[in-house]
Amino acid sequence: MAAHPSTKDNSANSLRKIWFDPNVRALVFQIIVVIGVIGFFYYIISNALFNLEQRGITTGFGFLNQTAGFGIIQTLIEYDESHSFGDTFIVGLLNTILISVLGIIFATILGFIMGVARLSNNWLIAKVATVYIETLRNIPLLLQIFFWYFAVLRALPSPKQSINVGDALFLNVRGLYLPSPIMEAGSNVVVISFMIAVIGCFLMARWAKKRQVLTGQPFPTLLVSLAVIVLVPLVVFFAMGAPIGLDYPALKGFNFRGGMVVIPELAALLVALTFYTATFIAEIVRSGILAVSKGQSEAAESLGLTRTQALKLVIIPQAMRVIIPPLTSQYLNLAKNSSLATAIGYPDLVSVFMGTTLNQTGQAIEVIALTMAVYLTISITTSFLMNLYNKKMALVER
């Protein structure tokens, strides 16, 4: 028996209704995209493995256990030519983290200072800040790195003609030589006392903030914290018989021996990253301050607060809600821009691992994958921490 025409029409209408349902169509298109992406990567990986097999190149991470056979000019862990490629990865990773953390700290400080300075009532300070921001943020970062490295630091004198500061600091073309600490028995107690002092100051700052909210009375947190951080370890230091000494650098032959050195590659990269990123942070800070209602400044003045007190207690806390999101982007940019270190030979992850290690092992896929994973992890971690801070600073609705 043939189906009734109305039955066929109902079925067609039902299918048409399902197809034109936005949720159903969205799900279908998502499934198609996922299948396409999986197929694409499957083809790429299969093709790469086939080509590697044809050329006799082994895959895997076994090369990390092979002897590296090359030195690195700056290492935060014990390392020499007899160590493995896995150790070169760790050395490059630590150097990348070092320049990123230092750059973020110094760029934030300089950026906040310049951002506030650009809004200063003092004409000269405001114009100097404006010239600094508008000049450096419009010059490519790579050119600034080259300027500090080749035009400034490479022009310093040789080790024998070093700039001497109190027979303790020596500046020359090979870097800045500083005294290094010598940790003797009992030094760990001094270090622990310093850590306890820092934790105590953090807890004290939280208590002082709650106290001010409840009573309205401010507490000199900064001065007390500085006193605690300096005096507590100092008292423990002398009580333990001065267990921490200093190893001073000394010129022996054609170079300095002893102490520690800040290599010119680190200095040039740090200065360039700091000055460049600080210009963008300064504009973020300026826009954040201007985003705060002018009535807040007038209210602070009516209470008798000075301009500095108004910035610290009224304006900046409110501006931070506007500043933090774009500030996070600048932190991420700084960490990724640190990969330009390879241009001047600073031994970061890209230079040491994706450069020298890749050239010696030929394990391109593994090396590049590890390097990408590191930068991805650094970015995700930075974003996560800044999001936590942003959530803390956000307005809480009642």
pLDDT class of 1 with cuts at 50, 70, 90: very low
DSSP string computed for 97-141: HHHHHHHHHHHHHHHHHHHHHTT-SSHHHHHHHHHHHHHHTTS-H
- Please compute the mean of the pLDDT values over residues 283-306 and round it to a whole number: 86
Q: What is the pLDDT of residues 56-92, one digit of tens each?
A: 767 778 888 999 989 999 998 999 899 999 999 999 9
Decide: helix, strand or coil at residue 37.
helix
- Please compute the mean of the pLDDT values over residues 41-58 and round it to a whole number: 79
Rounded-to-integer distance, Cα 91 and Cα 85, Å:
10
Query: Tell me, what's the pLDDT at 5?
Result: 57
Decide: helix, strand or coil at residue 168.
coil
Rounded-to-integer distance, Cα 244 and Cα 238, Å:
10
Residue 263 pLDDT > 70: yes
- Please compute the mean of the pLDDT values over residues 131-147 and round it to a whole number: 95
Tokens linked to 395? 């307005």
Q: Which residue has the higher pLDDT, 269 or 46?
A: 269
- Please compute the mean of the pLDDT values over residues 187-200 and round it to a whole number: 91
Q: Minimal CA–CA distance to 261: which of 146, 148, 162?
A: 162
Residue 214 pLDDT > 50: yes
What is the helix (H) or strand (E) element at residue 87, kind and residue range? helix 85-117
Query: Tell me, what's the pLDDT at 194?
Result: 92
Overall size of the chain counted in residues: 398
Residue 296 pLDDT > 80: yes
Q: Minimal CA–CA distance to 275: which of 108, 125, 99?
A: 108
Rounded-to-integer distance, Cα 177 and Cα 259, Å:
7
Q: What is the pLDDT of residues 282-293, one digit of tens each?
A: 999 999 999 888
Q: What is the pLDDT of residues 347-386, one digit of tens each?
A: 999 999 999 998 998 888 889 989 999 999 999 999 999 9
Decide: helix, strand or coil at residue 8.
helix
How much of the chain is helix, strand and coil, in % rounded to 5? 70, 10, 20
- What is the overall mean pLDDT for the chain? 88
Residue 9 pLDDT > 70: no
Q: Are strands 250-252 and 163-165 parallel, antiparallel or unpaired?
A: unpaired
Neighbours of 239 (CB within 10 A): 13
For residue 103, list its beta bridge partners. Answer: none
Q: Side-chain half-sphere of 349: how many Cα atoms within 13 Å?
A: 25
Residue 144 pLDDT > 90: yes
Sign of the C-alpha dihedral computed for residues 79, 81, 82 and 83 taken in this order: positive
Contact in structure between 355 and 48 (CB atoms under 8 Å): no
Contact in structure between 371 and 349 (CB atoms under 8 Å): yes
Phi-psi region of 56 (alpha: psi -120 to 50; beta: other; left: phi over 0): left
Tokens linked to 388? 């936590």
Rounded-to-integer distance, Cα 219 and Cα 207, Å:
10
Rounded-to-integer distance, Cα 224 and Cα 217, Å:
15
Rounded-to-integer distance, Cα 309 and Cα 320, Å:
16
Phi-psi region of 72 (alpha: psi -120 to 50; beta: other; left: phi over 0): beta
